[in-house]
Each structure stands twice: as C-alpha cells, then as structure tokens.
Structure 1
Amino acid sequence: MTTWSTSDIPDMSGRTAIVTGANSGIGRGAARALAAKGAHVVLAVRDTRKGEAAAAAISGDTEVRRLDLASLASVREFAAGWDGELHLLINNAGVMVPPFSRTADGFELQFGTNHLGHFALTNLLLPHLTGRVVTVSSTGHRFGEIDFDDLNWNTRPYKAWRAYGQSKLANLLFTAELQRRLTEAGSPVLATAAHPGYAATNLQFQSGRRLLDVVSRIGNRLVAQDEDGGALPTLYAATAAVPGNSFAGPGGFMEQRGAPKLVGRTDAATDAAVARRLWDVSEELTGVRFPLAGFERSFAA
C-alpha cells in the first residue's frame, strides 16, 4: 500500500512551476506544497485579487499572473508574457456542472475551459518546458463521451454532467496524445494526469442548483478529504518517478481518498484514434498547433 506524501517531493529549488486555478482548492494545495519545497510557483488565476490573497498565505517564492482559460485571448496573452524556462505546468483550473454558458470564444464552458483552454496554454508554453505537464482529470471521465458531431452542445439538449464527463475524458485523451507527440519529437518532457478523488473545494458549488449544492456540502463534510489531500495525486504525477501518460489518483476507498498511486482509466480514455482526432479538432478550434520540431503529423486511420 502506498504511503506517498508531500515529504516525498524532492527539493524543487531553482525550478519554476505554473499552477492554473491556484487561488483555491487543490490548486492552492499543490502550489503551497511546491513552494514549501523551494519552487518558484506562479499562481495563474482569473481573479488576481483572490490570487494575491492565496499567495500571501503561502510560505515560499510565489508570483501571481492573470489567466482566464475561458478566453483564448487571455491564454495567448499569458503565454506571450512568458520568457523564461518552465519546469512544471499543472493544468488544474476547471469548472464543474455549471448552468449552460459559453466561453468568450463561443465554446461550451466546461469543454472550453477544462480542455481547450489548457490545450492552447500547454502548446503555447511547450517551447519553454523542460519537465512535466500535469493535467487534472476526474473519475467523471468514466461517464464521458467525445461527441464530435456536437462538442459544444450547439444542437443537443445540454446535460451538465455529461458535458463535464466529456471535458474530463478529453483531459486524458489530450495527455495520451501529447505524450505520443513529445516522444516522437524526441522531447524529454513528460505528460501525466491525475484526479483528486473527492476533495472538499468550492468547485462543487457552481451548479446554480440549490439542492445539488446542499448535497455537495454534506458530502464535503462527511466524506471528502481536504484540499491538501486532494492535491496529493497531482503532486505525485508532477514529481514522482512515473512514466509518461501516467494517471494518478487516491489509493483508498474507491479512489476517493487516501495516499496517491497510479490508477486505471476507461477504454475510451485509451483510444488512440479518438485522441488524435480530438487533437486535430482542438487545433482547428483554438488555432494553436503542436510547436516542437521533429514531430511528423500522422494521418493513419
């Protein structure tokens, strides 16, 4: 049984990490742990006021920069302002089962934020990356399906949980295809993924439905682990000796809590053909391409 904890994180002195959505929840927990180990941690947040408050409560070397993953213009501005080496990118920010809404670019909010925003950010920052990309998915990927005919819910009735599952499945397919491309390009960068299990964060209270929010509060109180516990799988995927395309999650009670370990994923999350198609569609939607030399695009069916 794994007993991995933050004490197993190696010295991070001299390394720079970006954590999206680090003003609260498991992003804040990850930022706090990395800063405690000596990393320079950039809190990439939509609300810089909240980001500054979070940074002020973290002991270590931190910096706050504005990033709205629901706006490709904001993603491009953030990436264009990056001019140094980057050792670790943690794609953590996300939304969960909100009422139907769209990003600034017209994408369904969950798909646009959870997947497309991080897809664009990662590719724009890849020329600076030397270490790892960790993308936070969810056990919700298990009920996800990539609907290429209507990725952004333009014609079908909106189902918040199904849209969430699609975005979290997309996170795992993105990780798999990113690792394939990095390997083919001869890059030492690793792409990994993680899910937090059931962690008590404010992510559960964006549904706009009072009953669901009340149930979430009860669950948070009785079952969930705190944000530091929820951050452990992310930190494990970011710093432990794991291979590319690894997926980390809690090791106890149905993968909902406990020390992190490598966990399984659905067959849909390992479909290489779907991963490649999703990548191509994501490039078209965002206008952002894989930037590394040495990669040859594959058109295999």
Structure 2
Amino acid sequence: MTEKWTTANIPDQRGRVAVVTGANTGLGFETAKALAERGASVVLAVRDVAKGEQAAACMTGDVSVLALDLTSLDSVRTAAVALRSRLDRLDLLINNAGVMYTPKQTTRDGFEMQFGTNHLGHFAFTGLLLDLILPVPGSRVVTVSSVGHRIRAAIHFDDLQWERSYSRVGAYGQSKLANLMFTYELQRRLAAHGTTVALAAHPGGSNTELGRNLPAALRLPFALLAPLLAQSAAMGALPTLRAATDPAVLGGQYYGPGGRNEVMGHPRLVTSSPASYDLAVQQRLWDVSENLTGVTFPVVGFERNLPPSRQ
C-alpha cells in the first residue's frame, strides 16, 4: 500500500464517466478536477448552475454541468432523468455535496436540512441512477462522510427530523453516520451482483466553505485554528479520490487522512465508529429512507449477513 497516496497515483480514467455532487467548490471541485485531468468525463452536479459553469471553466478535459438540488426530491428526480437522457453508463457516482451545522430549517420536502440533504438526497439520487451503474464492471459509489459521525451521533428514529428539540451538531452527526450506514448496507446489497462496490471517505479537517454555518461563538476560534487543524481542499479530496480510483480498494471500505486523529495527511484505510457497523440499524435506516424518499433500489440477491470490511 502506497505510503503517501496522491493524485499522481490515480490510474488513467479515460473511458470512465463520473458524476460528482457539490462539485462547484471545495472538496467536490478538487475531486472533479482531478478526475477530469486523468481523462474521465465528469458531470458536475450542482445546485447553482452558474457557479457550476464557472467551476467547469477552471477544469481541463470533458466536463459538463447538471442542475441538482439535494434539498428537493423533485430536483433529484429531474436530475436523474436528465442524466439518463445524456448517459448510457456511469462508472463513478461520488456523493460529495453536503451542509454542516445549519440553523434549524427543513428541506422542501419537510426533512431536517442536514439529514435531508446529506443523506436522503443522496440516497434517492443513488437509487435513481443505480441501473446505469450496475452493468459497468469496476463501477463505484463513493459517499463522503466525516469525523463528525462520531460526535453526539446516533440515528434518532423517534425524532429523525429533530422536531422536538434541535442540535445542529447532533443533526450533522446523525447525517454523517447515516452516510456510512448507507454505504455499508448498499455494499451488502451489491456484493452478490459483483460489478459495483460502495465505499466511503472523509476529508478530515479541510478548509472549505462547510464551516460557514458555525455558531458565531466558534467562528473566530475556527479561523485562528484552521491553519493548524485543517488541510487544503485538494488534500481533503484525496481520500475520496483514492476510494474512487485505487485498483486495490474493496467494497465497504472507508478512507480518511492518515495523520493523527485522521485530521490531516495522505489517505489510508480507516475504521468508523462502532455504532456505524450496527446491522439492524443500517437495515432499519434503509427501510425508513425508502419510505421517506419513495425510492427503491434495483438490486436483487443481496447477502444480508455479509459485514462491511473493517481492515
């Protein structure tokens, strides 16, 4: 295993088609840019098309833009239909977009904003595109989680939408834990199919726009400490890029920075919290997510008892 995996380790991506959500800025931008530079045809799936076009203009290669607002299931469905009219295959789906520590608010469908955007929007988008992915040998679904999945994190089935009380930190942790549980359950469902794998990644501490919703009291300390606790977006994108392109990865794996506490450093295989591996909760979350989004996945013959890798 390469000690310091970088973009130089990305294999030739010519002939591969990738969709990256939230690709107009930060981690998504760096992920899409690197894939395009290595020859992939990349679709930037973004909420603001004008900003997406500006981002595409800064990249080399075959790059296009797709309107996608993960806070609206109607937009998710429209985007999936548009992609299906443009593509006959999809090699890489990278579920990168997200919000963090937002004030209490809901998506257009009434879901808590962080859970609805970070998890349910991507759950629906993946399900609606999966039949473009399944026939493609070596195809992958990579979902970006966070070290925040360990902080005050649980799946609150008794109050998923935080209607009784709201914690922006707890809600973010729930959404990022959901990203991992979705990945592990999806991998079990894909295992018997044999062509597609699901993986997760996290950027550690990265200097991106995600911190814009920090509580006012934390903004100055965050700004002062960022040079010590946060790496560049380009470095933060490396775990996602490794999960998406390294020929040695296995389904169900999780990649993050290799430095102390997984805050900074070159990407390596990491493990998630013990709670994230709870099979019963993973399955319950999947069932609830199908009910909330109205999206079911076209996967048959999955093996319920195959655990995710914890190497």
TM-score range, shorter chain: over 0.9
1 CA distance for matches of 2:194 and 2:105? 37
> Is 1:118 matched with 2:122?
yes
Instruction: Name the SS of the counterpart of 1:103 in structure 2.
Output: coil
Are the equivalent residues in 2 in contact too, given 1:205–1:216 (CA < 8 A)? no
In structure 1, the partner of 2:228 is: 222
In structure 2, the partner of 1:287 is: 294
Matched ranges for 1:1-301 at <5 A: 2-83=3-84, 84-129=88-133, 130=136, 131-143=139-151, 144-155=153-164, 157-184=165-192, 186-207=193-214, 209-240=215-246, 241-295=248-302
1:94-113 per-position Cα deviation (integer Å, ceiling 9, x unaligned): 00001000000000000000
C-alpha displacement of 1:81: 1.4
**Which residue type is aligned with residue 159 of structure 2?**
D
Instruction: Name the SS of the counterpart of 1:69 in structure 2.
Output: coil
Q: Flag structure 2 segments of 5+ consecutive residues without an equivalent.
A: 306-311
210-219 or 115-124, which moves further after superposition? Answer: 210-219
2 CA distance for matches of 1:10 and 1:51? 25
1:240-293 per-position Cα deviation (integer Å, ceiling 9, x unaligned): 111111000000122111110000111100011100000000000000001124
Runs of 4+ in structure 1 deviating by more than 3 angstroms, as ranges, are 293-298
Are the equivalent residues in 2 in contact too, given 1:70–1:109 (CA < 8 A)? yes
1 CA distance for matches of 2:185 and 2:300? 16
Instruction: Name the SS of the counterpart of 1:81 in structure 2.
Output: helix
Percent identity over the alignment is 56
C-alpha displacement of 1:42: 0.5
2 CA distance for matches of 1:107 and 1:187? 34
Q: TM-score, normalised by structure 2?
A: 0.92
Are the equivalent residues in 1 in contact too, given 2:200–2:254 (CA < 8 A)? yes
Instruction: Name the SS of the counterpart of 1:166 in structure 2.
Output: helix
2 CA distance for matches of 1:281 and 1:227? 33
210-219 or 267-276, which moves further after superposition? Answer: 210-219
**Which residue type is aligned with residue 262 of structure 1?**
L
C-alpha displacement of 1:29: 0.6
2 CA distance for matches of 1:296 and 1:235? 27
Q: Flag structure 1 segments of 5+ consecutive residues without an equivalent.
A: none
